[in-house]
């Protein structure tokens, strides 16, 4: 799964990599947690834009927003057929921006946090789905998203049995294009990212608490038992 990640790169790096002309203010965040706002690349009117979405997809038919706690992730193998995700899989896809994600490896009775990065810490796009939901009480429009997951690559396998779908740059145009609705073609993209382009290292338990958000979340463990 993907339950916590980071986006700390400067705006200039994000605009260059994702070819975005206008970028909203994005402050460095080292411990992004479910139900918080996340920044995503979305294609609208033939242009890429970065917009905030609530992390935890709320289907348009949901009675309340609580379902979002259960839909932070969508299994890529089955999302195209699930009621909560199938319409979004065909027409509403995003790249969830990140430059690192965390996973917890079970070690005896402990769960120890690891930080995974791509290409030495460069920003990347995780495959995501989005929906619009109208709060029936306030009529507030809520845009929310889910991160697709797949089986692990060789790097992730010893740590966890799932990982986010990280899309290579050459697939971004197809993934973001709402006119592409060939689910078989889209399903082919749901592959583990090449392990040789990733790194993994242990970090301290500071990241365990979602209220802790600073650079210390990525600091090495001090005085903690290594796996």
> Which residues are identified as catalytic?
2, 103
HSE-up (13 A, CA, CB side) for residue 200: 21
CA distance 118 to 92: 25
Q: Where are the alpha helices (DSSP H) in the chain?
A: 11-18, 86-91, 172-176, 183-188
CA distance 70 to 72: 6
Per-position b or e across 192-211, b if 16+ CB within 10 A of its CB: bbeeebbeeeebbebbbeee
CA distance 69 to 65: 8
CA distance 201 to 74: 25
Q: Is there a contact between 133 and 101 (Cβ–Cβ < 8 Å)?
A: no
């Amino acid at each position: 799964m993907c339950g916590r990640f980071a986006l700390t790169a400067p705006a200039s790096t994000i605009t260059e990599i994702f070819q975005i002309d206008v970028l909203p203010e994005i402050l460095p965040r080292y411990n992004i947690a479910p139900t918080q706002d996340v920044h995503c690349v979305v294609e609208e009117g033939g242009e890429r834009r970065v917009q905030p979405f609530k992390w935890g997809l709320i289907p348009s038919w949901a009675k309340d927003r609580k379902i979002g706690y259960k839909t932070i992730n969508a299994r890529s193998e089955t999302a195209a057929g699930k009621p909560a995700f199938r319409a979004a899989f065909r027409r509403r896809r995003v790249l969830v921006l990140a430059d690192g994600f965390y996973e917890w490896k079970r070690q005896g009775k402990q769960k120890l946090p690891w930080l995974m990065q791509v290409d030495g810490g460069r920003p990347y796009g995780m495959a995501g789905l989005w929906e619009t939901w109208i709060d029936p009480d306030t009529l507030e429009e809520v845009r929310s998203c889910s991160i697709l997951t797949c089986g692990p690559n060789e790097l992730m396998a010893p740590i966890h049995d799932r990982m986010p779908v990280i899309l290579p740059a050459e697939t971004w145009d197809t993934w973001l294009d709402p006119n592409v609705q060939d689910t078989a073609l889209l399903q082919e993209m749901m592959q583990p990212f090449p392990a040789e382009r990733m790194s993994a290292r242990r970090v301290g338990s500071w990241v365990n608490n979602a209220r802790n958000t600073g650079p210390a979340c990525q600091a090495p463990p001090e005085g903690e038992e290594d796996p």
